[in-house]
Chains A and B, each alone.
Chain A
Amino acid sequence: MKQQELAIRTLHAGIEGKEILKGVSMTVKPGEIHAIMGPNGSGKSTLAYALMGHPSYKSQIPMTKSQTNPKFKKSKESSNNPGSIVVNGIEVINLSPEERAKAGLFLALQSPVAVPGVTIINLLRSAYQSLYGESGKRVMNTPHNPLLAGKWRADGLSLPAFLSKVKEEAGFLKLDESFLSRGIHDGFSGGEKKKAEMLQALVLRPKYAVFDEIDTGLDVDALKIVANGVRRLVQTGTGVIVVTHYMRILKYLKPDTVHVLVSGKIVDTGGVELSRDIEKKGYKRYLTQHAQVYVTSALMYRYISAGRKTVGNI
């Protein structure tokens, strides 16, 4: 039997040629809650996007100077290996977001984009069928076609059965049924966005779900509901990564493991006591240790490129 875990190993990722994640490793087992904490700009969101395979946050290290010019010294950090992400035995590092979702990953975005006219229920219908429908028996998702809707079947569910399942989960999140017919994130309040993301996680039942800043912009009631959602997921065996800056959600959730991410690296890992410690003292001690190094190297890099432009390589 394959290893039942999400294994992230020396994951590198960046955006627009700038390396942000510098070798992140962690292991999440089914039913566990991991919290990733860190100051602004530490690479938390990059980690979330890189896990899901966002094209702009390539796990692949961009072409470095060392590749274009062999004279340029290759730093040890910028190894050409993007690392690996293994979902229950399946390597997904080179897979598209669609294939990663099919492998069992889910990402709840911090500021999800609106897709006007695509209703939540329609999105869920399509996604659920993609994930659980029998291949070759897929019906086209034409929202207005009652005839095709009759043929819809995924994971043994007919469309009406699926719809009542969705309504049940919506009810759990205290979402009105009419909410399901709204265009996804189109004019949603902050709280509605978070709940819409949580609803998708609950319906789509991923093996591992990443929640990026799910606790920002929520009032206490909404925060409790979202935390209940995470617990509900965990009970069904989903491994959860909660990425958080303010740690508000950790009042209502007890993570099994807490990781501290600073300057693209996990600098500390511990139990829930670690998060309490950070809540009291902040990230200061990590920043002095690591941010200094980061700033220096970034500055150095700028000098090096400036030098190359004007006088060539040293």
Chain B
Amino acid sequence: MTTTQPIMDTAYKYGFHKPENYVFKSKRGLDEDVVRDISWRKNEPEWMRDMRLRSLEIFRKKPLPLWGADLSHINFDDIYYYIKPTREKAESWAALPPEIRDTYDRIGIPEAEKKFLSGVSAQYESEVVYKSIQGLLEKKGVIFLDMDSALREHPDIIRQYFGTIIPPMDNKFAALNTSVWSGGSFVYVPAGVSVELPLQAYFRINAANMGQFERTLIIAEEGSFVHYVEGCTAPVYSTDSLHSAVVEIIVKRGARVRYTTIQNWSTNVYNLVTKRTRVEEEGIMEWVDGNLGSKVTMKYPSVYLMGRKARGEVLSIAYAGAGQHQDAGGKAIHAASETSSRIISKSISRGGGRTSYRGLVEVVPGATGVKSNVVCDALLLDPLSRSDTYPTMNIREKQVAVEHEATVSKIGDEQLFYLESRGIGKAEAQSMIVNGFIEPIVKELPLEYAVEMNRLIQLQMEGSVG
């Protein structure tokens, strides 16, 4: 028999936190002074400071979205918008403060790094404190930096692209992020360069009520390839925390970018992220997005297919346990002919959790020969849980092939009986069924993420069976 673990043990296994040790913490709440201060401390160019201030105005004017999850409990005045954890960025593992190293040890970074990673840029608090980039990347002309350093070292490239894919006026949270962003990654891959090993960044929040506002920009020049991977875990706190990132990606002609995220915030975090890609002729963009943690997630990775034969893919897994609402999905905008897109969403709800698929497929007039395929499958583990589908199709061209399928299933008694009749216990049988359900997406993940995903599902199932 499986031993039952108390739900708190399994519900959030990284829910430890270390004593806070910060060099600088902004005051609670947000006003012009806070924004000016952030910009000043980062020693930013004037244009960035002005952009931040403009965005703050937009943030103030924009209402909260009237659709999606309930955001009315976010108290924007109770959040620290900027925290700088250590004096200097660490160039090597040994140079990290012991308690940060300990935290990473618990997540398992060094081990993972030894085995799988080529370059790690890990973010602790709002700032990248640990990174080790292989010389290889530099030799190929690939830039992989935290966004703050990138702004200092490559201001021209940043100025050229920053905010062009997701401008501050896009939505309230894009405006908020643009005004107070800190950290995140910048990746630039020159034409024709293929980065063989995935670039990885681990993120971590470690302070109550602190906002995490990363800003990531990836530019893949013609014919290049890069796979960027980020994974997040956060400790549990009693008051709500806000995470609002912006990720902008530009895939130029014939280039291919894959962006993989496993989000496992603690269940008090609001995770409101805008992710968008512009894909040019014959370019390929693949979003692989796993949302396990957080209290509320709103995230719809988008592909804007701007050039002929561009292709976009969104693979998304959402898991909602008790008190969680995962409102996730994907968007594909076909603005050119012969473009194709595929959105596959798999969601699991348990213990009264709620998952929603929200998606958009749009074909603009004149974009002919477009193909799009949307599949959303939901798995409900008990009668308390809920799953909804909100697909929007805006097809304004006749010569297109657009498919949409949606299924909702329960863990079948017959499936359970089948596995149990082979001698497998109920908890393990359930986790096998759930892991099997998400397998089509998990197999797309880098190995250690796939392992982590399987383990998380397993822990959740063991907590759910008496």
Query: Which positions in A face B, CB cutoff 8 Å?
Result: 52-56, 96-98, 100-102, 106-107, 109, 112-113, 115-118, 122-123, 126-127, 130-131, 140-147, 183, 200, 204
Is B438's CB under 8 angstroms from A130's CB?
no
Chain A residues near B417 (CB-CB < 8 A): 52, 54-55, 97
Does residue B149 face the partner (Cβ distance < 8 Å to A)? no
A123 touching B433 in the complex, CB below 8 Å, given contacts A97-B417, A142-B458:
no
Does residue B428 face the partner (Cβ distance < 8 Å to A)? yes
Chain B residues near A53 (CB-CB < 8 A): 421
Chain A residues near B422 (CB-CB < 8 A): 101, 106, 123, 126-127, 130, 200, 204
Does residue B97 face the partner (Cβ distance < 8 Å to A)? no
Q: Which residues between 289 and 339 of chain B lie within 8 Å of chain A, taking CB atoms?
A: none
Chain A residues near B433 (CB-CB < 8 A): 115, 118
Is B451's CB under 8 angstroms from A144's CB?
yes
Could you tell me the dominant secondary structure of chain A's interface residues? Answer: mixed
A117 touching B420 in the complex, CB below 8 Å, given contacts A56-B413, A130-B425, A145-B451:
no
Does residue B371 face the partner (Cβ distance < 8 Å to A)? no
Is A143's CB under 8 angstroms from B435's CB?
yes
Is B423's CB under 8 angstroms from A98's CB?
yes
Is B420's CB under 8 angstroms from A98's CB?
yes
Chain B residues near A96 (CB-CB < 8 A): 420
Is B442's CB under 8 angstroms from A144's CB?
yes
Besides A100-B421, A122-B432, A204-B422, 16 new A-B residue pairs in contact (Cβ under 8 A), listed by A number: A96-B420, A97-B421, A98-B421, A101-B421, A106-B421, A106-B422, A115-B418, A116-B436, A118-B435, A127-B419, A140-B455, A142-B458, A144-B450, A144-B454, A145-B454, A147-B451
User: Which of B437, B440, B454 makes the CB contact (< 8 A) with A142?
Assistant: B454
The size of the chain B interface, using a CB distance under 8 A, is 32
Is B421's CB under 8 angstroms from A107's CB?
yes
- A-B contacts, 15 of them at CB < 8 A, read A97-B420, A113-B415, A115-B415, A117-B435, A117-B437, A118-B432, A118-B433, A126-B432, A127-B423, A140-B458, A143-B439, A144-B447, A144-B450, A145-B451, A183-B436
> Cα distance A122–B419 when bound, in Å?
11
User: Which of B412, B424, B443, B455 makes the CB contact (< 8 A) with A98?
Assistant: B424
Among residues of A, the one whose C-beta sits closest to the C-beta of B111 is A147
Does residue B426 face the partner (Cβ distance < 8 Å to A)? yes
> Cα distance A96–B429 when bound, in Å?
13
Is B421's CB under 8 angstroms from A123's CB?
no
Is B420's CB under 8 angstroms from A123's CB?
no
User: Which of B418, B425, B440 makes the CB contact (< 8 A) with A109?
Assistant: B418
Does residue B414 face the partner (Cβ distance < 8 Å to A)? yes
Most chain A beta-carbon neighbours within 10 Å: one of B413, B432, B433, B454: B432
Chain A residues near B424 (CB-CB < 8 A): 98, 123, 126-127, 130
Is B414's CB under 8 angstroms from A113's CB?
yes
Chain B residues near A127 (CB-CB < 8 A): 419, 422-424
Among residues of A, the one whose C-beta sits closest to the C-beta of B2 is A138
Most chain A beta-carbon neighbours within 10 Å: one of B424, B437, B451: B424
Chain B residues near A100 (CB-CB < 8 A): 421
Chain B residues near A183 (CB-CB < 8 A): 436, 439
A118 touching B450 in the complex, CB below 8 Å, given contacts A55-B417, A102-B423, A113-B415:
no
Is B412's CB under 8 angstroms from A113's CB?
yes
Chain B residues near A106 (CB-CB < 8 A): 421-422
> Cα distance A97–B422 when bound, in Å?
8
User: Which of A98, A101, A117, A130 makes the CB contact (< 8 A) with B439?
Assistant: A117
A101 touching B420 in the complex, CB below 8 Å, given contacts A113-B415, A142-B454, A142-B458:
yes
> Cα distance A261–B95 when bound, in Å?
77
Among residues of B, the one whose C-beta sits closest to the C-beta of A53 is B421
Return the 9 tightest CB-CB contacts between A and B, nearest first: A117-B436, A117-B439, A101-B423, A144-B450, A118-B436, A127-B422, A142-B454, A97-B420, A113-B414
Q: Which residues between 391 and 424 of chain B lie within 8 Å of chain A, taking CB atoms?
A: 412-415, 417-424
> What are the interface flags for B427-466 relative to A under an 8 Å C-beta threshold, 1 for contact and 0 otherwise?
0100011011111101100010011011100100000000
Most chain A beta-carbon neighbours within 10 Å: one of B412, B414, B436: B436
Among residues of B, the one whose C-beta sits closest to the C-beta of A117 is B436
A117 touching B438 in the complex, CB below 8 Å, given contacts A144-B447, A144-B451:
yes
Is B415's CB under 8 angstroms from A131's CB?
no
Is A130's CB under 8 angstroms from B450's CB?
no
Most chain B beta-carbon neighbours within 10 Å: one of A109, A115, A140: A115
A142 touching B455 in the complex, CB below 8 Å, given contacts A109-B418, A115-B415, A116-B436:
yes
Is B423's CB under 8 angstroms from A115's CB?
no
> What are the interface flags for B369-394 relative to A under an 8 Å C-beta threshold, 1 for contact and 0 otherwise?
00000000000000000000000000
Chain B residues near A140 (CB-CB < 8 A): 455, 458
> Cα distance A143–B434 when bound, in Å?
13
Among residues of B, the one whose C-beta sits closest to the C-beta of A186 is B436
Shortest B123–chain A CB gap in Å is: 25
Shortest A51–chain B CB gap in Å is: 10
Is A126's CB under 8 angstroms from B421's CB?
no
Is B426's CB under 8 angstroms from A98's CB?
yes
Most chain A beta-carbon neighbours within 10 Å: one of B417, B421, B453, B455: B421
> Cα distance A204–B413 when bound, in Å?
22
Among residues of B, the one whose C-beta sits closest to the C-beta of A57 is B417
Shortest A92–chain B CB gap in Å is: 12
Shortest A46–chain B CB gap in Å is: 14
A123 touching B451 in the complex, CB below 8 Å, given contacts A55-B413, A100-B421, A116-B437:
no
> Cα distance A142–B445 when bound, in Å?
14
Chain B residues near A200 (CB-CB < 8 A): 422
> Cα distance A55–B391 when bound, in Å?
38
User: Which of B413, B421, B440, B447 makes the CB contact (< 8 A) with A52?
Assistant: B421
> Cα distance A131–B414 when bound, in Å?
20
Shortest A113–chain B CB gap in Å is: 4
> Cα distance A130–B419 when bound, in Å?
11
> Cα distance A200–B447 when bound, in Å?
28
